[in-house]
């Protein structure tokens, strides 16, 4: 499998770095940290992600995007059977 087959504008990192990943529809932003460890044989790549709540809220506000969360707190649990 080759990355070039998926996205012609792929990102190539030669060292540990970070970038921001945005969701196109809901404007959720994540900080993605990539750590490339040098080791014998193949290098190891570690990827960590964390939600950037402040940037997400600011972008959603500027684009007037409102998301609704269903309140399931007061719903009764329904089970099937007798």
Question: Tell me: the pLDDT tens digits for 1-24?
Answer: 666 677 677 777 878 999 998 887
The tokens for 68 are: 């609704």
- Under a CB-based contact definition with an 8 Å cutoff, are residues 10 and 3 in contact? yes
The dihedral built from the CA positions of residue 37, 42, 45 and 46, taken in this order, carries a sign that is: negative
User: Can you count the helices (H) and strands (E) in the chain?
Assistant: 1, 3
- Write the DSSP assignment of 51-71 as a string of letters: E-HHHHHHHHHHTT-------
Question: Tell me: the pLDDT tens digits for 26-54?
Answer: 888 899 999 988 888 888 889 999 999 99
- Supply the pLDDT for residue 32: 92
Q: What is the dihedral of CA 38, 43, 46, 47, to 10 degrees?
A: 120
């Amino acid at each position: 499998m080759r990355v070039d087959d998926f996205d012609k504008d792929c990102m190539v990192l030669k060292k540990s770095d970070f970038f921001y990943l945005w969701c196109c529809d809901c404007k959720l932003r994540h900080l993605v940290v990539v750590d490339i460890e040098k080791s014998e044989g193949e290098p190891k790549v570690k990827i960590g992600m964390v939600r950037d709540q402040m940037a997400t809220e600011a972008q959603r506000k500027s684009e007037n995007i409102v998301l609704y969360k269903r309140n399931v707190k007061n719903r009764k649990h329904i089970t099937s059977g007798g």
